[in-house]
A and B are shown apart, each in its own frame.
Chain A
Amino acid sequence: MNWMKAIVCMSGISCFMTACSLDNYEAPTSAIYGSFIDQETGELIEQDIVRGTQIEYQEGRFVANQYMVVKPDGTYRNNLLFNGVYKFTPVRGNFEPIDPVTVEITRDTKLDFQVIPFLRIKHVSIFKNGNKVKAIFRIQQTGFDNVLKVGLYAGADKAAGATVNQSAVEIPVGATVSEDQSFTIEMDIVNNPRLKKGFTYYFRVGAVIDAPEAKFNYAPAVELTL
């Protein structure tokens, strides 16, 4: 009966061995990267990192949506994707909605999105003026929705914005604006518990339209030492 025991043992062990090799998938090796680009000016579209634009994507028949966030400067990258065919849809962004894009991902795949931002923040100057940081800028609208508010945001890095900041000054607008109109926002830096003298902060100006799920548009952050 020894041989029978041996067979049972062997088959048992071989079962386990097969299971091991089947489970042992390769780690994901492919990547996708790209930018959100203003199709008119060719500039990157600045973003919020928290509650900002997201890229919704689905792979094959996997039912759940997955999401990527976009970096503050308007670029994105995901280095841990499996090879396959994916559908990418930028959603709830600060630009006119665009159609989904289906792409086959192998190794490094580049996918740029050409979009029309809701607002362009133009002619920006941010500078220290005595006890205050002053921002002067203009807004160009691409649509007809009211501008809800404009803001000046200070933070420890370039992600400073409406949802992540050390200090913020917002001004409600509630009207459409023209490019002739100049906006000025001042932030007190002396009696401000969140900003310390001698430290360096990034300042970003932004504006948002009054539409459901619309996100802020920003000008690139400016570095200032207080």
Chain B
Amino acid sequence: MKLLQYILPVTLLMATATSCNKLDLKPLDKLDGNAMFSDPQGVKLYMANLYYQLPIEDFNFMRGGFNDWIGENMVSAHFTDEAVHSNYLDFLTTGNFHWWEQGYKLIRDVNIFSDAIPQLRVSEDEKNKMRGESAFIKAYTYYALAKRYGGVSIIDSVQKYEGDVEVLKVPRSTEKETWDFVMTQCDIAIQHLPETWPGGERRATKWVAAALKTRAALHAASIAKFGDRAVLSGEAVSRKLVGIEKMYANDYYRQVIDAANLLMENGPFALYKPNPASPEEAAENYRKMFEDPSVAPEEAIFIKGFTKVDLGHNYDIYYNPAQTANGWPHPGRINPTLEFIDLFESYAQPGQSSPIRTSAAANDITDYSGFNPAKNYYRFDHPSDIFEGKDARLWGTVILPGTQWKNTEIVIQAGFIKPDGTPQIMEGNPYTHTDGKTYHVFGSSDRTQYSGFDSYGGNYTRTGFSFKKFLDQRIPVVYGYSKGLTDYIDFRYAEVLLNFAEAVVESGITDNNAVAKATAALNAIRKRAGHTQDIPLTVENVQRERRVELAFENKRFWDLMRRREYHTLFQNTIMHALLPVVDLRVTPAQYIFIRTEVPRGWRYTFDPRQYYRYIPGIGSNGLVQNPQY
């Protein structure tokens, strides 16, 4: 037995020793970096994942974040003066529009890739493309972080845990350092990325990186220039983790101008159908570009495609008017506001917004007191007549009352005025006129035959306007989540032109013929929308043009943020609606319109601390919190 006592431990020892070697295998379900990235197919595969995670504000960008496939339908426009939601009364909360943990996950994933590049067995040319592409992804990622959180922890290579968690905690850089990091990464990307990819793959190019730089630099410049419109205080401010000093504004505007110049002078891009024959044609061209971006390769710089049913988006189901919901129970969720409609120019008065006038009264535009029997309302034969002569993009962006959509006349009616002058608006019974015709409050007795003002299900617009841009007119709504396959244009040439124009007009930079070029850019976009008269380059003209041209492209939200206009615009503020009403006091009946506050609406106030999101998890990551959280 003594012998056995020794044999047993020795055998065990041997067994464990052997097993150490035997278990040290390469895992069969994972590739090492070199094998993966030395093969272009491997790079492609890895890149597909990184691009998927990229914070592109596409059709699945909702208040909860990116790639939101189901359920949520509040987009950034709902929190601005572009639109109200037909059902929800929510305003921006501190929990909305975060992107922190996913951001740092993407940073780790791209760092794994960029760290591996120097050791790869591929040509220097291939390596440079990889350097460019990883820099582009870093730039995009830090841009999305900086506009939410201000200065953040910059982590440019993979962190390794070696027993001490404290060394992994990287303190926040200043907001300026963070934006400068974005600028540097954009420059690396512009330097190394190719102008096109073989086979026309939708990957970042030199031009996409330049377009990103115009967008990011404009954000940084605006924070420097307009930061004093909403001064914050606290530790994050005194350490410059949020805010940029005013003196740097023109440095960033200069970077916008340089990057835009690169695109405008050397790039292959132009506006899609720049010379329409009529406003009607302009409206249709504009609409079609968003219905199918592949028709406009000259304008679309960077497209995110949707190719697979069930991995698509929900714009068609949620935002079609109730009449074309095709059985889907929750349509009509984006209701463009009267503020947005009022913004558009009319062709007769170029260079100024042309609010909808309902009467000749001097206070007509500001009178929201409801139907007034003594008022001489303008009368119209058809409900869309009141919008005649307004900018083509209004017709391309919004479904106006009484216009055609999917071969259906969209009925948006708030009520009627009886022959004796009694108003019956948004309530009450049908009325049978002396001519034998029965008038229904919302235009029909059948809920599938109208699209406005009924509170049932939150399916009917409460502003008098329904949403059109991006919706596909060619196909009926497909019932179910994530069936929409419309592609999304992330960067388009018109935005670059507008970024350029804004940088020139805000900075006062004039060299290299900047003012003339910016004025020409502004007017080229207007000409494409059917305008025939040029307007001068002013701050107001650029901002109006931007709001009109880029409406619902998730720009307005960030414009209000970066220009520090949010807290002034939303101070106990309610949005407004336009009620089309049938006037039976005249024969034949005609339409009148009533400007009013949004029915069942709410007043909203923006808290200046919301210019920055709160930093999640400061208890464990040890970062300095943003002001007032």
Contact = CB atoms under 8 A, between A and B. Distances in A.
User: Do A and B interact?
Assistant: yes
Interface of A: 50-51, 54, 63-65, 67, 91-92, 162-165, 168, 191-193, 212-213
Contacts of B619: 63-64
9 contacts: A51-B607, A63-B619, A64-B618, A64-B625, A65-B629, A67-B628, A162-B572, A164-B605, A212-B228
A92 B370 CA distance: 39
Contact of A163 (B231, B369, B605): B605
Contact of A92 (B228, B233, B367, B597): B233
Contacts of B560: none
B589 interface: no
Contacts of A51: 605, 607-608
A164 B367 CA distance: 21
B367 A191 contact: yes
B367 A163 contact: no
A91 B619 CA distance: 22
B233 A192 contact: no
B233 A213 contact: yes
Contacts of B603: 164
B368 interface: yes
Given A63-B618, A193-B369, A193-B370, A164 B572 contact: yes
Interface in B385-413: none
Interface residues of B, number: 21
B571 interface: yes
B618 A212 contact: no
A213 B232 contact: yes
Nearest to B619: A63
Nearest to A54: B628
Contacts of A91: 233, 628
Contacts of A54: 628
A91 B572 CA distance: 22
Contacts of A65: 625, 629
Nearest to A194: B597
A164 B570 CA distance: 12
B223 to A, nearest CB: 16
B618 A168 contact: no
Interface string B593-624: 00011000001010110000000001100000
Main secondary structure of the interface of A (DSSP, over half): loop
Interface string B138-152: 000000000000000
Contacts of B228: 212
A185 to B, nearest CB: 17
Nearest to B368: A193
Contacts of B607: 51
B423 to A, nearest CB: 14
Contacts of A50: 605
Contact of A212 (B231, B572, B596, B628): B231
Given A65-B625, A213-B232, 12 more contacts: A50-B605, A64-B618, A162-B571, A163-B571, A163-B572, A164-B605, A165-B572, A168-B572, A191-B369, A193-B597, A213-B231, A213-B608
Nearest to A164: B572
Contacts of A191: 367, 369
Nearest to A214: B231
A192 B618 contact: no
A50 B618 CA distance: 26
Nearest to B567: A51
B596 to A, nearest CB: 8
Contacts of B629: 64-65
A15 B367 CA distance: 70
Nearest to A153: B572
Most chain A CB neighbours (cut-off 10 Å) among B367, B572, B603: B572
Interface in B342-382: 367-370
Nearest to B607: A51
A164 B604 CA distance: 9
Contacts of B370: 193
A63 to B, nearest CB: 5
Interface string B569-582: 00110000000000
Contacts of B233: 91-92, 212-213
Contacts of A63: 618-619
Interface string B212-247: 000000000000000010011100000000000000
A4 to B, nearest CB: 26
Contacts of B628: 54, 67, 91-92
A43 to B, nearest CB: 26
Contacts of B367: 191
